[in-house]
Chains A and B, each alone.
Chain A
């Protein structure tokens, strides 16, 4: 059995989510006596490509092409599907990043494959091919059986560990087979926030709600985030009032996150908000209302005024990091 994994590169290097996907594919291969092929669209140097072997890729197919350096849904789909056909892959693993979300369904349609996205478990093959995924924005899990010969699994980032399972490095260069006319979408400009941790990748997230009374008080969130190396987030009312950008809104109609630690300051914990954060390993709620629903979903709670509480926590966090 061949398992194909899409190795997403950004500016010629791989992110943690890529190594998670390779590790995931490698675990399936070990359980089913299979092998793992990683496909890499875009120009990546051999020493970088070799990193994929460290996490279990038996073969690395490098598809170098200047136009593939940036993500492009249609052409990446063709490259992945051509590789899947050449390798006879029966499972395609893709990390469910924004690019992965764009790619995985296209790959599924092209391969006539069943697809599960937001996967949070290894496949269970005792009866069919069942994977678990998040549904209702984190309010529940669903077990889904994929019934097609080829399966596409879009796995949730930050869910599976990166596991070293070094294989001998086997890099193969392949032609893209693409013509200029295949590139119907063109990237004009990319703006990445530098120096900040992307919310979906953050292991610690500090989040503020209406209880902070205004954007001018966000230093309380940011100071703690800086001290702990965390990302910042907010509740829906806060982004609706434009105190913070929409990109920070976590919840059912915002971003779903699952960090190790989520600290909610002045957020009551409406069901829609909890849906987006309830998969966090440890939750701390800080709220002046002892009846706030967040206290029912939290591991630790402090009932009181955030303006009194936060300076104490920030000071302790700075002291902790200094040691």
Chain B
């Protein structure tokens, strides 16, 4: 079984979001970058599947050299090898085109992405990549088992769950319950240093979107406090003053 896991390098979840250059650039100064949490679940599930069925897990990212710490971490967690496409990931379409160009003649059985990256929240790479490669896709999966050439998958739907079967090769995106993330151990960290990390130059791809600027949400006015004794008046306040119920 040959698995590809797409990894995005994102700011840590505790990051305070600040913009510079007249609100056109995300300020990365002092920001700790991590593997996108959903991609980490993908990686772990990929490893679990290959441990059971045999095979390899390749991680791929589109990014400049500063993303290599996250790639090495993915290798330390257990990925077989890694590919870095040497370009700034301008938008999801660009990223998907780059990964599709790499993956198209590699015969991967299963390609994982995360449900979304926790910075730009597009959730687009799974679908874009699948369509570009002409493969089926299932998004926000909470479970995947492989049975020969078929994947048995569960995914979130609005207000519930769906069980599906899909033929391989297949592109999926990981939702939270897929598995628990693995912490790299010392042996993994040592092994990661010598695992292959291939740097690939990007293909020419036209941009489909451009970021114009950012804005932070307006801060709330000060909180109105209600005493514990008068807690029951909250309902009346929400009805009469906030006019929300």
Contact = CB atoms under 8 A, between A and B. Distances in A.
Interface of A: 15, 71, 73-74, 77, 97-99, 101-110, 112-118, 128, 130, 133-148, 184-193, 196, 198, 200-201, 204, 228, 246-247, 249, 252-254, 256, 260-261, 271-272, 278-279, 281-285, 295-305, 308-310, 312-313, 315-317, 319-320
B224 A115 contact: no
Contacts of A145: 209-212
A313 B239 CA distance: 13
Given A144-B209, A204-B245, A99 B124 contact: no
A11 B74 CA distance: 42
B96 interface: yes
Q: Main secondary structure on chain B at its contact with chain A? A: mixed
Given A189-B163, A196-B159, A300-B234, 14 more contacts: A105-B125, A108-B127, A114-B208, A128-B212, A133-B121, A140-B214, A142-B214, A144-B209, A204-B245, A297-B220, A299-B221, A308-B228, A316-B236, A320-B235
Interface in B135-157: 136-140, 142, 152, 155-157
A98 B156 contact: yes
Contacts of A73: 127, 130, 136-139
A187 B162 CA distance: 7
A135 B224 contact: no
Contacts of B99: none
B200 interface: no
Interface of B: 11, 13-17, 19, 37-38, 92-93, 96, 118-128, 130-132, 136-140, 142, 152, 155-167, 176-177, 207-217, 220-221, 223-228, 231-239, 242, 244-245
8 contacts: A102-B126, A144-B210, A185-B165, A189-B162, A190-B162, A191-B161, A246-B142, A278-B217
Contacts of A310: 231
* Most chain B beta carbons < 10 A, residue from A148, A196, A253: A253
B128 A135 contact: no
B95 to A, nearest CB: 11
A46 B168 CA distance: 37
B131 A261 contact: no
